[in-house]
Amino acid sequence: MHSVVMTKGVPDFREGQVSFDEDGHLERGKTPTVMNPNDKHALRAAFQTKVRNGGHVSLMSMGPPGYKEVLQEGMADVYADDLYLLSDREMGAADTWATAMTVATGLQNLDEQPDLVFAGFKTADGETGHTGPQTCWCLDWPIITHVLSLDIDEDGGTVRAKRLVDGDISEIETVEAPMPCFIVADPEFEPTYRRASHRLKHKDLRAETKERAEEYEDHLTVWDHEDLNLDPDYIGLDGSPTIVAGVDPIPKAPSEREATVIEADEREALGPVLDELAPYAAGD
The CATH code for residues 2-234 is 3.40.50.620
Q: How far apart, in whole angstroms, are the C-alpha atoms of residue 188 and residue 193?
A: 16
Question: In the prediction, which pLDDT does 125 show?
Answer: 78
pLDDT over 80 at 260, yes or no: no
Q: Residue 221's CB: how many other CB atoms inside 10 A?
A: 15
Question: In the prediction, which pLDDT does 280 show?
Answer: 73
Q: What is the mean pLDDT of the chain?
A: 89
pLDDT > 70: what percent of the chain? 87
pLDDT over 80 at 241, yes or no: yes
- Region 128-151 average pLDDT: 96
- Region 241-262 average pLDDT: 69
- Phi, then psi, of 86 in degrees rounded to 5: -100, 115
Lowest mean pLDDT among 36-40, 94-98, 162-166, 251-255: 251-255
pTM of the predicted model as reported, rounded to 2 decimal places: 0.83
The pLDDT tens digits of the residues spanning 7-44 come to 999 888 665 566 666 666 666 666 778 999 999 999 99
Question: In the prediction, which pLDDT does 265 show?
Answer: 78
Judged by DSSP in three states, 17 sits in: coil
pLDDT over 70 at 212, yes or no: yes
pLDDT > 90: what percent of the chain? 71
CA 191 to chain centre: 16
- Helical (H) or strand (E) element with 68: helix 67-77
pLDDT over 60 at 97, yes or no: yes
Question: In the prediction, which pLDDT does 100 show?
Answer: 97
CA 173 to chain centre: 24
Q: How far apart, in whole angstroms, are the C-alpha atoms of residue 137 and residue 114?
A: 15
The pLDDT tens digits of the residues spanning 184-205 come to 999 999 999 999 999 999 999 9
pLDDT over 80 at 169, yes or no: no
Spatial contact of 152 and 52, defined as CB atoms under 8 Å apart = yes
Question: Domain-by-domain residue ranges, the chain?
Answer: 2-234
